Chains A and B, each alone.
Chain A
Amino acid sequence: MSISQAHGGHYYLPKPSPYPALMSTALLLLGAGGALAVNGYVLPAGWLAGAGGLLVVYVLSGWVGDVIRENRRGVYGEKEGVSFRWGMGWFIASEVIFFSSLFGVLFYERNIAVPWLASLNSHYSPWAGFKAVWPTSGPAGAAFTPEHAWGIPALNTLILLSSGVTVTWGLQQITKGHRRAATWAVGATILLGGVFLALQCREFYLAYTELHLTLGSGVYGATFFILTGFHGLHVTIGMIMLSVIFGRCLKGHFGPDNHFGFEAVSWYWHFVDVVWLMLFIFVYWL
């Protein structure tokens, strides 16, 4: 095959690396810390999770740094590039499926569980006056105001969609070799993502303080917060990736035929984008 011949027929195999084992140690610390924390053992949990968190940061910078250095040394040929692309593609597929299962939860609670509960003999109702409506009124009928689509959420849709445009434009500039323009585009994307996150925090804050919509507000509150919360988490992860890409753009790492890192992050950002669109339609709007 011509591809493998270009690199002397060798597929690049990385040297032994301490980072994978360190990363799992970090996750063990975080897991044990998390399990202790939710049971009220805050002090030991804090130490464990703190150490785990620091280790995660250390490992991520070391591991990603190794990959970037290898890339700079030019050890990745076309064949390695194909592996990375397939890998990122399947990773995003698994993320899509994760969100699908959360949307499945929303569908189940809203269209199956609530009507079913409402169809029972009223003696078995969760609370007096329970009706098959969405949003449900909350446990024991505690009052809250449901989210409204055409305020912050609509604005956020606009912001996130335009950030999808800027990152795509940046990728196009890189393939044409316009590094400065691409750097600006990534910067703009980060800015838009930051505004999105800030507005999302504001929205959560308003939900708790003014709408009295909390995690405990029945299945409406639960599904609302798990879907938007996990999306927000993924935006944050995307922001970290974009920051790395921004730094690499500044250093001039990317060129017309070496920009997989950029491409992968743009894929991820589009995924986050599309999930938000679904959220806007099914959580806020309908």
Chain B
Amino acid sequence: MSTVDIDAMEEQHHPRGITRWLYTTNHKDIGILYIAFGFLMFIVGGILAMLIRAELMEPGMKVMGPELYNQIISVHGLVMVFAALMPVSAGMVNYLIPMMIGAPDMALPRLNNFSFWLLPPAAILLVLPWLLEFFGIGNGTLDTGWTMYAPLSVQSGPGMDFAIFAVLLLFLSSTLASINILVTVLNLRAPGMTWDKIPIFVWSWVNTAVLLIVVFPALAGAAIMLLLDRHFGTHFFSAAGGGDPLLWVHMFWFFGHPEVYILLLPTAGILVHILSTFARKPVYGYKAQVYSFAAITMISVIVWAHHMYTSGLPTAANIYFMFSTMAISIPVGILFICWFGTIWKGSMTFETPMLFALGYIVLFGIGGLTGLILSDAAADQQYHGAYFVIAHFHYTLIGGPVMGVLAASYYYLPKLTGRMYDETLGKWHFWLTMIGFNVTFFPQFLLGIDGMPRRIADYAVKFAPLNMASSIGAFVLGAAQLIFLYNVYRTLVGAGKPATGRVWDGAQGLEFTLPSPPPYHTFEVPPTV
């Protein structure tokens, strides 16, 4: 039977309309579902961010009450991390990895679909309490911040229980998706696609998947214990029964710190592909990057308590966590060297993906360096719980993962749609994002050094000017993303000139040997590498 016959057969029985998306077992469909859902949640999380900045624009309570403010910051954090960034990154891996390693699909296609469809229920559970409040049930969604620290989370309202079940669904989704990715890479590489040839992006996701499998169970276990403490009389997090609220904090950050790398690594992986394409040079330091990923993965699970310097741990513990945290900057530094090495003396051009990739290096660089400041246990006594931390992790998470996701979106949009996006709009998007982002978050470093506490809906009058600047920056940043949405929209409806299979002159990799957009099924017969 030839390939053509199989294709024709497959085309016949893949359903159309809504059931195509609900029932799909195709990695490209599932990838697009993930990406679409992720960007939708970016909009939700972004609107919440705008509400936060609207409230903080001036001192005093202006837009909402403190109860709602607490709920909004909690949902903003959870949505951005779990419902926006992780799904977009999982969508990229679903769409790209089978094409990059020459596999016909993901190894376990039905499980793949299940992993995706667990996400909308989780998002629904998170915001459902807001709806239920209208019917007199509960008092809105969780209000503890995304970290859900005990004992606050033990006492908080019914919204917390919905969040706990949402976390459990996310746990299931991430675990199954990670298993699927590992199995695909282990078993479905095309002949000749040896471990020293698989693209860096694939390596980055192998590490991410391992991290997810290793750290998410701790959060799931903690969430179950929290539920038991809240409703079944246990004392895991309560000193009244010999337990310890710090146990929650340990378990949360055992998951939460590696989570940063779960968000970061996939975009660090895709970043070098983009740098190499637009510098028209091969990737510099392939092996160094692969080993750095592995080192980051390993070190990231033994540094969590740098989030707990002010919680009264023994000094020896603080010192250990300080040095182990600082040790991460070595592999991360090697990544930076490899990124610079890749573009060094290249014949660079600055299309939008390249601009975002360079923006990534600058902003994530600032995020990393301020992280080094925070990792100092003594200095952290001043910065802990202040806006410095907020500025730091937004430089890390927007500067790194979000810029990376945007770079990858522009890079692969022509591949997915077969149409080029509008370059001028892309450049506007980039520069407004850069300006808006820095105007939003740079003042927050200064506010933090001055001692403005995070997570409080109001602030002292002396912080007013910088907060005003920060809010204006945020609105610019938010508005700039509308340009991106429009640019994607006009590409989807077929405006823009057709893209070639290779899309960019310097592009390397199996996915660029396929036409744009690629056919529904690719590499049913493995290519030879």
A interface vs B, CB < 8 Å?
1, 4, 8-11, 13-21, 23-25, 27-28, 31-32, 34-36, 38-39, 41, 63, 79, 82-83, 86-87, 90-91, 93-94, 97-98, 100-102, 104-105, 108-109, 112-114, 116-117, 126-127, 130, 136, 138-140, 214-223, 225-226
Among B10, B13, B24, B247, max chain A CB count under 10 A is at: B247
Residues of A contacting B178 in the complex (Cβ-Cβ under 8 angstroms): 90
Is B526 part of the binding interface, using a Cβ–Cβ cutoff of 8 Å?
yes
CB proximity of B8 to chain A, nearest CB, Å: 14
Segment of B219-227, B261-269, B279-287 in the binding face: B219-227
Closest 6 CB pairs of A and B: A28-B121, A20-B114, A31-B165, A216-B233, A16-B23, A113-B244
| C-alpha gap A17/B128 in the complex (Å) | 28
B236 touching A38, Cβ below 8 Å: no
Please give me the residue from chain B that is nearest to A108 by CB atom: B247
Residues of B contacting A16 in the complex (Cβ-Cβ under 8 angstroms): 13-15, 19-20, 23-25
B224 touching A226, Cβ below 8 Å: yes
| CB-CB under 8 A for A90 and B213, given A105-B247, A109-B247, A139-B241 | yes
Which among A39, A108, A222 is the interface contact of B234 at CB below 8 angstroms? A222
Residues of A contacting B166 in the complex (Cβ-Cβ under 8 angstroms): 31
Chain B: number of interface residues, binned into ranges: 35 or more
| C-alpha gap A10/B9 in the complex (Å) | 14
B25 touching A14, Cβ below 8 Å: yes
| CB-CB under 8 A for A31 and B169, given A10-B525, A90-B179 | yes
B128 touching A97, Cβ below 8 Å: no
| CB-CB under 8 A for A90 and B125, given A19-B110, A20-B110 | no
Mark B327-345 against chain A: 1 for CB-CB distance below 8 A, else 0: 0000000000000000000
| CB-CB under 8 A for A38 and B23, given A31-B169, A87-B183 | no
| C-alpha gap A126/B158 in the complex (Å) | 27
Mark B156-173 against chain A: 1 for CB-CB distance below 8 A, else 0: 001001101110110010
B187 touching A34, Cβ below 8 Å: no
A10 touching B524, Cβ below 8 Å: yes
B169 touching A27, Cβ below 8 Å: yes
| C-alpha gap A137/B105 in the complex (Å) | 56
Mark B125-139 against chain A: 1 for CB-CB distance below 8 A, else 0: 100100000000110
Residues of B contacting A1 in the complex (Cβ-Cβ under 8 angstroms): 191, 526
Is B6 part of the binding interface, using a Cβ–Cβ cutoff of 8 Å?
yes
Residues of A contacting B103 in the complex (Cβ-Cβ under 8 angstroms): 11
CB proximity of A251 to chain B, nearest CB, Å: 23
| CB-CB under 8 A for A28 and B124, given A83-B187, A216-B234 | yes
Which among A27, A38, A139 is the interface contact of B121 at CB below 8 angstroms? A27
